[in-house]
Structure 1
Amino acid sequence: MIAKITTGNNFNGVVKYIIDTNKQAEIIDSVGVRLKDINSIISSFTTQQGLSPGISKPVYHISLDFSSKDTDELTNERMSEIARDYLERMGIRNTQFIAVRHYDKNHPHIHLCINRIDNDGNLISTKNDRYKSEKVCKAITREYELYFSSGKEKVNRHRLKGADKAKYEINDAIKSVLEHCCSWKEFIQQLEQQGIKTQFKFKGQSSTIEGVSFSKDGFSFSGSKIDRQFSFSKLDQAIQNQRLADHDSQLYFNGRKTTVQQSYSCDERVPPKQNYTHSIMHAGYGISGGGGSDDDPNKKKRKRHF
């Protein structure tokens, strides 16, 4: 959920904008406002504004935008509940407001018209409201289990070039294949089909895997540099979650079957301190289970960077 906040001096303009029939507007909630028609709504706000006539900007206009992925869950009742919770956490209380849902875009969104002159004639402060709103939106998104959109989703891929283009293409590919891959072998194969190579990083002189990177078109990035969810440990956990097999992890490599306990190991014939490229997939192996994490701060000093 994202909030956009503006203040204004004219209830007439804001009310007419958010109740515009061309936007398929629907009033889903209100407090202290007569809803007979647009004029009665405006009159309700301006009458209370008269309790403190010297205020130049008595209008609070806040839009709450949600991801299209939440459309099925966001009934009018649910959106009204969220709107009231948002206002409460923002400290906007004891005043008039209307909540109007629009259907003119692909994503659910509502507009709130709020009177900054409360029922007692006091002015509702806007101090640090945008900073506060950002924190409130994140908390509500998490607590109501709404979709957290990544900033990467808003990037115009067609305008990217070079390393940025490769990085976002890798990001999109990993997200796509991760949803249905049940093994590292399958994961690597599907990425290779999209021109992406997978490389593993080893711990010190051992053959224990502690990191992963991906390369395309001559550009290489560690998993966590593409997205924090793409570190070796988090990718491995995601792949584990797809598996239907027993949680006892096993590593298959060059025909050998080895039980994996607390760390990941490759066949001892693999040269140490060498990037383990995508060719490993042709050995017929699978990786799963608990193990080393490339997010472990105690390991970062020992890692080599690609």
Structure 2
Amino acid sequence: MIGKIIAGSSFAGTVGYVVKKQSRILAAEGVTPPNVREMVQDFKDQTLLNLRIKNAVGHISLSFSPKDSVRMTDALMLDIAKEYMLRMGIMDTQYLLVRHLDQPHPHCHLVYNRVGNNGQTISDKKIKIRNAKVCRALTEKYGLHFAPDKESVRRERLREPDKTKYEIYDAIKAVLPRSRSWEELEKHLKAQGIRMRYKYCGSTNQKQGVLFSKNGFEFSGSKIDRQFSYSKLNRHFTQTQQQTRYWATLAKGFHAVIGNYRSAYTGLFGNIGRSGNKGQVDADSINFGGNIGTLPLPPHDSPVGLSAAQLQRKPGESPKEHIARITALLNSVAEAMAIAAMEQKCRQRERKTKMKL
């Protein structure tokens, strides 16, 4: 379940949008459906009780996952909407609740008067924060799914400024995986007509926020999506750079141990070659490809054991874990071969000494 706070400037436009052909009125209080003009006039009349409220239009859409479609009856949707209103403090005022039938996911629109029945103000202070908490609580209480997410929103139906906001969201989502720094992100977005600037702490050079603009609209990163706030993007780039350094260290260690392994192998078994080449031995091997190529494996009758299966990536093993594991394995095998080569030379010297005697 997701609640979306929608800005509305007039009851005429809001009620006219909500009550349409593919819709069904679930409940109404203080207004007389189904005539739109009469309901609009009812809303307007009550605003006269409190002229200090400049915009008395309250409009919230409540959306549910397509996975909840089967169980989302009108009765259940109405129960959830009424509990939502109670928790949000939307009480003792006019409201209209309409279910829309034009989307694959169940959803309804709540239109209410911010001027209460007694002229009191229905507060919208921190409404987005309260909305998120209430939706999360009701989703858990009723065993619902969180949906639809941003990926499920039909872009072609959006109006400004949401249309541009989603364009920026899609652009950041697409280029972020190949952006290793703020500079690279800015470069990729600029190519798509999106500008980026920072918010600073007071008069200092300390960055505390980021804003993205396009088509004359500007949004903070967190307004586009929570994962695009300055702090989360900065953490992403820090982790990306750390991973890059780690990969470089891992690759350097892997290539170093490959060299040690080849040297130790040659010292113990001699060069590798095809059958019939004098001074060379045949051996099983594994091909790593790239700059490493084929790596020989110790013969089966060798005291040093290593198989191709041991060097293969295990199920569920990440590339980093794989490289780290086989680096340690090859290192231990190289050390074992180096020790075996030294012992072999000692035995050869002893035999020569005995022959001389």
TM-score, normalised to structure 1, is 0.50
Moved over 6 A (4+): 158-163
Number of the residue aligned with 1:8: 8
Query: Given that residues 9 and 56 in structure 1 are in contact (C-alpha distance below 8 angstroms), is that contact kept between their aligned partners in structure 2?
Result: no
TM-score, normalised to structure 2, is 0.43
Percent identity for Structure 1 against Structure 2: 36
Number of the residue aligned with 2:265: none
- Correspondence 1:278 to 2:315: yes
Q: For structure 2, which runs of at least 5 residues remain unmatched after alignment? A: 155-169, 179-246, 248-304, 318-323, 327-357
Structure 1 vs Structure 2 CA RMSD: 3.8
Number of the residue aligned with 2:283: none
CA distance change for structure 1 residues 149 and 104 in 2, over 3 Å: closer, same or farther?
Answer: closer
- Correspondence 1:137 to 2:135: yes
Structure 1: how far apart are the matches of 2:52 and 2:139? 37
Number of the residue aligned with 1:265: none
CA distance change for structure 1 residues 109 and 42 in 2, over 3 Å: closer, same or farther?
Answer: same
- For the pair shown, which has the larger CA radius of gyration, 1 or 2? 2
Q: For structure 1, which runs of at least 5 residues remain unmatched after alignment? A: 166-218, 220-268, 281-303
Report the CA distance between 1:8 and its aligned residue.
Answer: 3.0
Report the CA distance between 1:54 and its aligned residue.
Answer: 3.3
Aligned mate of 2:113, from 106, 115, 133 = 115
Report the CA distance between 1:83 and its aligned residue.
Answer: 0.6
Query: Given that residues 26 and 100 in structure 1 are in contact (C-alpha distance below 8 angstroms), is that contact kept between their aligned partners in structure 2?
Result: yes
Report the CA distance between 1:151 and its aligned residue.
Answer: 5.7
Spell out the pairing of 1:100-249 with structure 2 (5 A cutoff).
100-149=98-147
Q: Residue by residue, what CA displacement relative to the aligned partner does 1:11-51 show, whole Å, maximum 9, x if unpaired?
A: 11111110022x4x110111121125112211211111111
Number of the residue aligned with 1:254: none
Aligned mate of 1:83, from 81, 84, 98 = 81
Structure 2: how far apart are the matches of 1:270 and 1:64? 61
Report the CA distance between 1:55 and its aligned residue.
Answer: 1.9
Query: Given that residues 58 and 115 in structure 1 are in contact (C-alpha distance below 8 angstroms), is that contact kept between their aligned partners in structure 2?
Result: yes
Query: Given that residues 139 and 146 in structure 2 are in contact (C-alpha distance below 8 angstroms), is that contact kept between their aligned partners in structure 1?
Result: yes
Number of the residue aligned with 1:69: 67
Corresponding residue SS for 1:73: coil
Aligned length: 177
Number of the residue aligned with 1:247: none
Report the CA distance between 1:276 and its aligned residue.
Answer: 6.8
Query: Given that residues 7 and 58 in structure 1 are in contact (C-alpha distance below 8 angstroms), is that contact kept between their aligned partners in structure 2?
Result: no
Report the CA distance between 1:6 and its aligned residue.
Answer: 2.5
Structure 1: how far apart are the matches of 2:128 and 2:36? 29
Number of the residue aligned with 1:30: 28
Q: Residue by residue, what CA displacement relative to the aligned partner does 1:53-101 show, whole Å, maximum 9, x if unpaired?
A: 2321000010011111100111111111111111111111111101001
